Chains A and B, each alone.
Chain A
Amino acid sequence: MAPSASTQQILLSPAELSYLHTSLSLHPPIRPDGRSATDFRPLHAETELLPGTYGSARICFADGTEAVVGVKAEVEKSVPSYVGHGEGGGGDEEKGRNEWVEIGVEIPGMRDDDSMPVFLAAMLSESLLADGAFTARLWINSRFHWKLYLDILLLSQPLSYPLPLLSLTTHLALLSTRLPKLKSEQDEDPLFDDDWDASVHLYPAGSAKPSVTLLVMAVKDNIIFDPSKEELSVAEVVLAVSIASDSASAASGGMEVDSGAGRQLTLLAVRTIDPPSRLTHPGVPNSLNTATGGTAAASLEQENSKREGLHEEGVWQPPRGGAKRKLIAGMIAKVLEKGGVGEEVLDGLDAVELG
């Protein structure tokens, strides 16, 4: 879906692409940086670095990409909703609306109405709002609510697809977000405690955590996590999988043991991303190359139809067609698996000290 042609120029020849593709489709796959298929790149994370915001976080990946997220909140008057008011109104209390959260993504060198930032913002908000519990936290009383502005800045050039970086940073920023403590009661005009030390976390410890979006790709039947730019350039399927740990199990898991063994992951959203490998140039097999004794095809259609039939080892062909359902199901299962990558990432994020 994301037209990635302008941002991710692939400077690899068909021969290099083919080499990369072959090594990634081995069992186990050999990745250019020597990681195993489920390894993540190391990252630096810090939170609450900007005193002027309600919550902020910064993450640096080892490849040099860096993102900063700042959260600002405002009290806003709720627009009265007439839907569901007739039935006593008791049922729809503390219910949030999606307009209460505004997400903006800024990528250097791109206008804010370019397709990439808009698409990234849509994907991030989709996964954050998927559970419906997030906006309910912004409810103050029936007349007022918090309006949350999430500004996501990518500070470096987008070297690899920046979605996981932005998602992890947003996750940390939301975890560090604190809102002033409410002093007024019921439906009074809201009055807040002016002591910042008394402020309450938007996500108190032990409650459900905001979602995290991970990038998963597949080459043949190998499922590879956290792909780098080069690896994406030969991917056959790329999925953005949004997960969150279940609130109930997180709370009970915290009570039993602190190992997080009781973590139950829920799937919130899955998006397929058009792999940049589709934009690569195919290699020319010997049978179509006049220099090696083959016969060149007369027209482009003929060439394409001839290529369809060929499956020569070592000749790069951009992937065609969609992904098999079984493969997609396998990719999602691998993220959600007990003791799998999803858990590992969430555990890692839990370890980041807040405040």
Chain B
Amino acid sequence: MPLDTSTYSLALLRLDGRRWNELRRLNAQISTQAAADGSSYLEMGNTKVICTVTGPAELKSTGGARAGGDKADVRVEISIAGFSGVDRKKRGRNDKRVSEMQTTISNAFAQSLFTNLYPHSSISLSLHILSQDGSLLAACLNACTLALIDAGVPMRDYICACTAGSTSSYSSNDEQADPLLDLNGIEEQELPFLTVGTLGNSDKVSVLVMETRVQVGRLEGMLAVGVDGCKQVREILDQVVRKRGVKILEGSQL
């Protein structure tokens, strides 16, 4: 689907009316499901994700001998609903793109969680994508962070993620290209973008995924904008967690 993004240079406004450094509306709820150990619901624009955490629980080992190592196993299961996209599309269990996202998320949280506190156990994250409009991996990472906080799994800091792109495509080789923050679905189809996740307030990058081609000169700008966006995301997630904390405190005083 060819898309005309050349109008950006006229008013410096993107297709949905945002400026280059503006996030979409980020809305999150924590502890949405009573039956799960931890759960969260996150909206980044029109991307909607539900995450539930089970565990830390005893490993269900299928083969008797392999009883897990001295660290907890982080398992991620992503299911993309058939109705989530524009056209109805059913994805198989072993879709390559989905399994790569699962590995990325699992690796990221295996580093940031104190998995050594739970030997021989597993923490399973299950993600349901109800609606997708860009920044899928970033939304999943943010939802997982919130659900893990709800489940009370000790972690070093939040993993906050967002995407960053560049205003012109690789082939147009435009020198004037500006970096963009938090791309939506239409922009993602057209423009080069990366997903970056940082650990808390620091500039430490824990996740960086890029699947499109871009001139190496633009990469630094994109990364800087992305890391900056992650800090904004952290603020929002932190407020959600604090609001929940205040609610729990009020409940306990009664």
Contact = CB atoms under 8 A, between A and B. Distances in A.
Interface of A: 50-53, 56, 60, 62-66, 68, 70-72, 74, 104, 106, 108-109, 111-112, 149, 151, 153, 155-157, 159
B130 A108 contact: no
B43 to A, nearest CB: 11
Nearest to A74: B88
B128 A155 contact: yes
Q: Which 4 A-B pairs have the closest CB atoms?
A: A64-B35, A70-B83, A64-B34, A72-B88
A68 B130 contact: yes
Given A50-B131, A63-B34, A157-B35, A112 B83 contact: no
B46 interface: yes
A149 B81 CA distance: 11
B27 interface: no
Given A52-B84, A153-B81, 15 more contacts: A51-B46, A52-B46, A52-B85, A52-B86, A62-B34, A66-B33, A66-B35, A70-B130, A72-B83, A108-B126, A151-B81, A155-B50, A156-B52, A157-B54, A159-B35
Contacts of A153: 79, 81, 128
A56 B93 CA distance: 23
Given A52-B131, A68-B130, A112-B93, A156 B84 contact: no
Given A52-B86, A72-B83, A155 B77 contact: no
Contacts of B87: 72, 74
B82 A151 contact: yes
B77 A108 contact: yes
Contacts of A157: 35-36, 54
A305 to B, nearest CB: 36
A104 B90 contact: yes
Nearest to A73: B88
A251 B79 CA distance: 41
Given A50-B131, A51-B131, A156 B36 contact: yes
A187 B36 CA distance: 51
B48 interface: yes
Contacts, number: 74
B33 A156 contact: yes
Interface in B118-159: 126, 128, 130-131
Contacts of B36: 64, 156-157
A84 to B, nearest CB: 31
Nearest to B54: A157
B84 to A, nearest CB: 7
13 contacts: A50-B48, A50-B83, A52-B131, A63-B35, A70-B81, A70-B83, A72-B82, A74-B88, A149-B83, A149-B88, A151-B83, A151-B88, A156-B36
A192 B243 CA distance: 46
A108 B79 contact: yes
Nearest to A156: B35
B83 A53 contact: yes
A64 B50 CA distance: 14
B81 to A, nearest CB: 6
Contacts of A155: 33, 50, 52, 128
Contacts of A112: 93
A47 B245 CA distance: 29
A71 B83 contact: yes
Contacts of B48: 50
Nearest to A158: B35
Nearest to A173: B83
A62 B50 CA distance: 18
Most buried by B among A52, A53, A65, A106: A52
Contact of B93 (A63, A111, A156): A111
B34 A104 contact: no
B135 to A, nearest CB: 15
A188 to B, nearest CB: 24
B82 A104 contact: yes
Interface string B35-59: 1100000000010101010100000
Contacts of A56: 83
A159 B128 CA distance: 18
